[in-house]
Structure 1
Amino acid sequence: MRKAMQICALFLLAVLAACDQRRPAAGSGRKTIVATYSVLGSVAKELAGDEFEVRTLIPNGMDIHEWEPSARDIEALTRADLIVENGLELEGGLGKALDQARKAGVRFFTASDHVTVRVVGVGEGIPTGDPDQAPGARDPHLWTDPLAMKAVAGALAGDIRKHFGKDLSARNEELGKGLDALDAEIRQKVERLPVGRRKLVTGHESLGYFAQRYGFTLVGAVIPGLSTEGAGSAATMAHLKKLIREKDVKVIFTEVGTSPRTVEALARETQVRAVPLATHTLPGDGSYRSFERELAATILKELQ
């Protein structure tokens, strides 16, 4: 029933969009940017917030992989002047709505087109037969690397200047300097943690860019894949337990979209700690830098 209602909503909004695609937000003379999720929206707002009406579609703290839009959300997409998406199939539940917006002629900026995309390495994680866990699968979780986000911001500034005539170079330079400083700060703190303790077990395979940037090893994940839409089998759980013991892992980081009951059972059976980690959720101030700083601080504190 829910799927049928969404299809009807998409059809209706396609008709409305054909008649009136570009009405500005009520009470605002500015053009509208819609970012798909909160962390990406935070960077877009810091870069372009004075010149555009910037809103985020997926509510902060919700599972990016599985969240599905309402009719009002679909309308916001079809009326946007620019949609800023992650790409690499991260926003799985938004797929049909994003396709509808493309057909309506909305301009898109895809963040993953402007970074060096990390791929799953040989021997990484837990073999499952799932294509998104096979060596060479492209990882969408680019926002855990501040220098990747710097590249995204720079490309977005260029895109906005080209298509909307707004010069955001000063704001982009300031944002870039802040992200360089953030990277240096995290790197300095990571260097105090012995290499042998830099081992990550997470809810799903979400920290690949962070691990690659700062020299951590990805041991495995409760949901062995690049999204939360799958589930671990008895065989993959047994394999993960074995890896946790062999690699002397001390902590399992649990995330939005991971079953707390499964994590608690795994932690109990392997005698390690289960610690919540905000890999997809902005902190109270809505700042990307605060998000990344808190992410790193939690990881480093628990692995000491």
Structure 2
Amino acid sequence: MRRRTIAVFAALSCVLVGLTACAPGGSGRPSVVVTTNILGDITRNIVGDQAEVTVLMEANADPHSFGISAQQAARIEQADLVVYNGLGLEENVLRHVEAAGESGVPTFAAGDAVDPIAYTSGDTAGRPDPHFWTDPDRVIKAAALIADQVVQFVDGVDSTAIRANADRYRTELEELTTWISTSFARIPAGQRNLVTNHHVFGYLSQRFGFRVIGAVIPSGTTLASPSASDLRSLVTAIEQAGVRAIFVDSSQPDRLAQVLKQESRLAVQVIPLFSESLTGPDQGAPTYVQMMRANTKAISDGLAP
């Protein structure tokens, strides 16, 4: 009865905002709504053609600051399942997800379920780090759990097809992990030092043996800002560690990173990565696997002798 009431209110919301077909595609198919585009790609690999997958976050967006429309909020309320990152990542969308969950919509926080680690420095030290996707082994676990959620909560899907999709994708992710390890073998242990625009590669560092020297924004969110003393301290750390490159997210301005490059007495490159968002089809990282391959190549080229 509660789900029926939700559907009535959601339908009324669609009328109020002028939607002609609030259900995905107007087809009445099972609906899975996903907050971020990285999780959206992972979920689409699992779901295949068994249900409609709606991704809220556009390409090249910032997961910490993107917002949603009234139409998208209505889709969350109508979903058979909502998949979100959690751990505080979707700062402007979480309230909608929580409201849907309180109304009876099944929700799944992938980040909470994959053994999250905590930030070790900056103003978010001690808080859980939401950027688990930089470790493909954790994505393997998340993908399997998403498959479980789809089978359990999304009526009308073929569970055999979902499991087959999950097995195929697991093989692809296992091959990705092997390829990344081989690629990073080019970088001597003493040169595996990372400086990023904010703290985003803790999981990658743990998995593949890197050391995070610091971040331009000493925080786990792009919504923070560094002080002058933060930047001075980072310049000192860069010089002491002999850092060869600063890696910045392609969806974020690199102005502060360029300032650090100018302030440092070392020859430091500023190299863009696709760390928090997928791109459009022809922009280098339209899928999770392509994103990780592009980032691995950029890090290897930037740090290897």
Query: Taking structure 1 as the reference length, what is the TM-score of the superposition?
Result: 0.86
1:277 alignment counterpart: 273
1:17 alignment counterpart: 10
CA distance in 2, matches of 1:15, 1:169: 33
Give the drift of 1:256. Answer: 4.9
One-letter code of the match for 1:178?
E
**Secondary structure of 1:69 counterpart:** coil
Give the drift of 1:19. Answer: 6.0
Gaps of 5+ in 1: 1-12
Query: Contact between 2:119 and 2:220, CA under 8 Å: does it hold in 1?
Result: no
Query: Taking structure 2 as the reference length, what is the TM-score of the superposition?
Result: 0.86
Query: Contact between 2:29 and 2:51, CA under 8 Å: does it hold in 1?
Result: yes
1:9 alignment counterpart: none
The percent of aligned pairs where both chains have the same amino acid is 32
Whether 2:251 is the aligned partner of 1:251: answer no
One-letter code of the match for 2:196?
T
Deviations 1:48-88 (A, max 9, x none): 02101012101111110011222222122222221110000
1:140 alignment counterpart: 130
Whether 2:144 is the aligned partner of 1:154: answer yes
Query: Contact between 2:196 and 2:248, CA under 8 Å: does it hold in 1?
Result: yes
Query: Contact between 2:56 and 2:72, CA under 8 Å: does it hold in 1?
Result: yes
1:89 alignment counterpart: 88
Assess, with a 3 A threshold, how the Cα gap between structure 1 residues 199 and 27 changes in structure 2: closer, same or farther.
same
Whether 2:291 is the aligned partner of 1:291: answer yes
Give the drift of 1:20. Answer: 7.9
CA distance in 2, matches of 1:184, 1:26: 38
CA distance in 1, matches of 2:66, 2:8: 24
1:77 alignment counterpart: 76
Gaps of 5+ in 2: 1-5, 15-20
One-letter code of the match for 2:58?
P
**Secondary structure of 2:247 counterpart:** strand
CA distance in 2, matches of 1:20, 1:60: 26
Whether 2:222 is the aligned partner of 1:228: answer yes
Give the drift of 1:23. Answer: 6.6
Deviations 1:93-145 (A, max 9, x none): 11222233223322101101321111224xxx4x5xx2x2x2x3211001111
Show the 5 A alignment for 1:1-304.
16-17=9-10, 24-121=23-120, 125=121, 127=122, 130=123, 132=124, 134=125, 136-164=126-154, 166=157, 167=159, 168-256=162-250, 258-270=252-264, 271=266, 272-283=268-279, 284=281, 286-304=286-304
**Secondary structure of 2:24 counterpart:** coil
Assess, with a 3 A threshold, how the Cα gap between structure 1 residues 269 and 198 changes in structure 2: closer, same or farther.
same
CA distance in 2, matches of 1:14, 1:81: 11
> Aligned Cα RMSD in Å?
2.3
**Secondary structure of 2:291 counterpart:** helix
